[in-house]
Structure 1
Amino acid sequence: MKFSVVTPCFNAMRFLPDTVASVRHALAGRDYEHVVADGGSTDGTVDFLRDQPDLNWRSEPDGGMYEALNKAVSRASGEVIGHLNTDEQYNRAGLQAALDIFESDPSVDAVFSPTVMVDAEGEFIQLFKQVVVPRVIDTHWHMPVQSCSLLYRRRCWEREPYDTSYRLVADHVWFRHQMERGMKLACVPEPIGIFTWHADNLSSSEGKTSGEDALADIDRKSMRIKLAKDTYRLRKWLAGGYKPTPVRYEQFHQGKLETHTVERPCLKVRRDLRGG
């Protein structure tokens, strides 16, 4: 089974080398490809890409991240797809466990996991401990998975590509629609993805002012949604989602592979520690 990592990219030299290194390390021994869709970078990114013979890359203007994603997936040849941004990394243990599920159960459409959050210097901030399979209604009040910790079969994208009319929330719209179509999910306990919080994140720099809404048609104050929230939180509590347990992960920092173990990880978003 071939796995395709797809990475939208624009002026990404700050973090891109570590992202590429993490993919190579996490997938060593697997049949995979790394497809990069660059939007016409001018910061040295193209020179870096040109020096990576194992990357499938192309640099050309695009209409934003989701158009770049669609371009990358359309060029990809793998049965399973992973969307990894240029400031994110893969954790080998979680990624390997997720790929094993795809190989053992052809009926599974997607696999997700908890997500490690680090700051711009690679320091641990929190564990986004996603440990319960969401229901369709859970996508009607929040995005219950992180894109860097979600892998999916190509057939899902072929049913519906990313909606390029959005700049920031098309991944939520896409996941919601896939769930409404009956996407079958599985979960692994080890983190698949490592997400970097920093001032240049699109979600940080534009998310509060964009006005985009993946749930514009949903009455989020309805009793139906309130009950769904309570049910989800109860299920998460029963599954240990609010209990801090040790987390181990591997990440690259300035070209060096590091192994970290956090005995009692913070599980709550700490906005003051996002990093710069």
Structure 2
Amino acid sequence: MKISVLTPAYNAGAYLKKSIESVLAQTYSNWEHIVVDGGSTDQSLDILKSYKHLKWVSEPDEGQSDAMNKAFKMATGDIIIYLNADDYFYPDAFKVFVDAFKNNTDCDMVVGNLDVDRNGMMEPSTNATVLWKDLAVIKGRFPLNPVSYAYKRKVQEKVGAFPVDEHYTMDYWFLLHAFYFFKIIKINDFMGCFVFDGNNKTSVIVDGFNVQKPHALKFAKRYTPYRYFYVYWKLMSHPRNKSKQALFLKRVLKKLKVLS
């Protein structure tokens, strides 16, 4: 199995070398690494030029989703893994992924664990759900970072290109569809590290719930219309929903003792 590692990047020179080196350090050797840079103005291009094994391009784009789509078009592997430029893999990650696919021949996607580096404090993330019904009502934790999962290329071919106008929750959008259409398995191995430093996009989302909610409703309307009103109800009454409409509904329901 050939693995395609796809890295969208923009002005990530402070992290890029460590990310690339984590791929080079893998104990599994059948892989390619593709970097699509958005026209960085920092030291990123010098770093990319110094690694002869990379396939890379640097040009203006329409954001991370656009870069991810470009990278996928360049990929030739059987297995797809996205590696953000500020994150990194542990040395046995690729071997663990491949072994999981070989031992579970009917699975399409493998989800592992990861560590989260919060400004030097390491926190394990082990409780990711792999159930589309959980994701559809934003229940539980979806895999926090693509460093923890890998999938067969047919998954992305089926789900389609990442929406270019979506700059924050393209991962939630993708996982919701992938979990619905394909067989997913969860393993207990730690695959890599998500660097959460206060400057990356995940760190600056003010209200992740309300950014994810439209995806959940659109998904229900298109694929499971019989569940639409259930999904709408669950999202309106969700503890993380702080909209004025939701807060009003919760006050009314609490008075009626529908919600405790």
TM-score bin (small chain): 0.7 to 0.9
Task: Give 2:47's aligned residue.
Answer: 48
Give, in angstroms, the shift of residue 209 of structure 1: 6.2
Task: Give 1:138's aligned residue.
Answer: 134
| Compared CA separation, residues 180 and 89, structure 1 to 2 (3 A) | same
Alignment of 1:219 with 2:215, yes or no, is: no
Give, in angstroms, the shift of residue 212 of structure 1: 6.1
Identity of aligned residues (%): 26
| Compared CA separation, residues 165 and 116, structure 1 to 2 (3 A) | same
Task: Give 2:65's aligned residue.
Answer: 66
Task: Give 2:85's aligned residue.
Answer: 86
What secondary structure is seen at the aligned counterpart in 2 of 1:116?
strand
Equivalent residue in structure 2 for 1:126, among 123, 126, 130? 123
Task: Give 1:111's aligned residue.
Answer: 110
Q: Structure 2: 5+ residue runs without aligned partners?
A: 218-230, 240-260
| Aligned-partner residue type, residue 135 of structure 2 | T
Distance, in Å, in 2 between the alignment partners of 1:144 and 1:44 is 33
| 8 Å CA contact retained: 1:163, 1:174 | no
Task: Give 1:237's aligned residue.
Answer: none
Distance, in Å, in 2 between the alignment partners of 1:69 and 1:222 is 29
Superposed CA deviations along residues 13-36 of structure 1, whole A, max 9, x for unmatched, are 11110001111112x442100000
| 8 Å CA contact retained: 2:130, 2:186 | no
Aligned residues: 220
Give, in angstroms, the shift of residue 55 of structure 1: 0.6
Tell me which protein shows more helix as a share of its residues. 2
Alignment of 1:180 with 2:180, yes or no, is: yes
Superposed CA deviations along residues 85-140 of structure 1, whole A, max 9, x for unmatched, are 011111123442122112343321110111101134xx343111136x52221112
| Aligned-partner residue type, residue 42 of structure 2 | D
Distance, in Å, in 1 between the alignment partners of 2:200 and 2:7 is 15
Task: Give 1:189's aligned residue.
Answer: 188
| 8 Å CA contact retained: 2:34, 2:71 | yes
Matching of residues 256-275 of structure 1 within 5 Å: none
Distance, in Å, in 2 between the alignment partners of 1:145 and 1:113 is 8
Give, in angstroms, the shift of residue 211 of structure 1: 8.8
Q: Structure 1: 5+ residue runs without aligned partners?
A: 227-276
| 8 Å CA contact retained: 2:213, 2:235 | no
Alignment of 1:171 with 2:171, yes or no, is: yes
| 8 Å CA contact retained: 2:28, 2:94 | no
Alignment of 1:101 with 2:114, yes or no, is: no
Give, in angstroms, the shift of residue 222 of structure 1: 6.1
| 8 Å CA contact retained: 2:4, 2:79 | yes
Distance, in Å, in 1 between the alignment partners of 2:91 and 2:206 is 33
Who wins on radius of gyration, i.e. which is larger?
A: 2
| 8 Å CA contact retained: 1:113, 1:130 | no
| Aligned-partner residue type, residue 134 of structure 1 | V
Give, in angstroms, the shift of residue 215 of structure 1: 2.3
Superposed CA deviations along residues 223-254 of structure 1, whole A, max 9, x for unmatched, are 9989xxxxxxxxxxxxxxxxxxxxxxxxxxxx
Give, in angstroms, the shift of residue 48 of structure 1: 1.1
Distance, in Å, in 2 between the alignment partners of 1:20 and 1:189 is 24
| Compared CA separation, residues 99 and 220, structure 1 to 2 (3 A) | farther
Superposed CA deviations along residues 186-226 of structure 1, whole A, max 9, x for unmatched, are 12211112001112111112x11689622222426369989
| 8 Å CA contact retained: 1:41, 1:59 | yes
| Compared CA separation, residues 60 and 101, structure 1 to 2 (3 A) | same
Distance, in Å, in 1 between the alignment partners of 2:105 and 2:80 is 14
Superposed CA deviations along residues 162-187 of structure 1, whole A, max 9, x for unmatched, are 12221000110111012222x11112
Matching of residues 195-234 of structure 1 within 5 Å: 195-205=194-204, 207-208=205-206, 213-216=211-214, 217=217, 218-219=231-232, 221=234
| Aligned-partner residue type, residue 115 of structure 1 | L
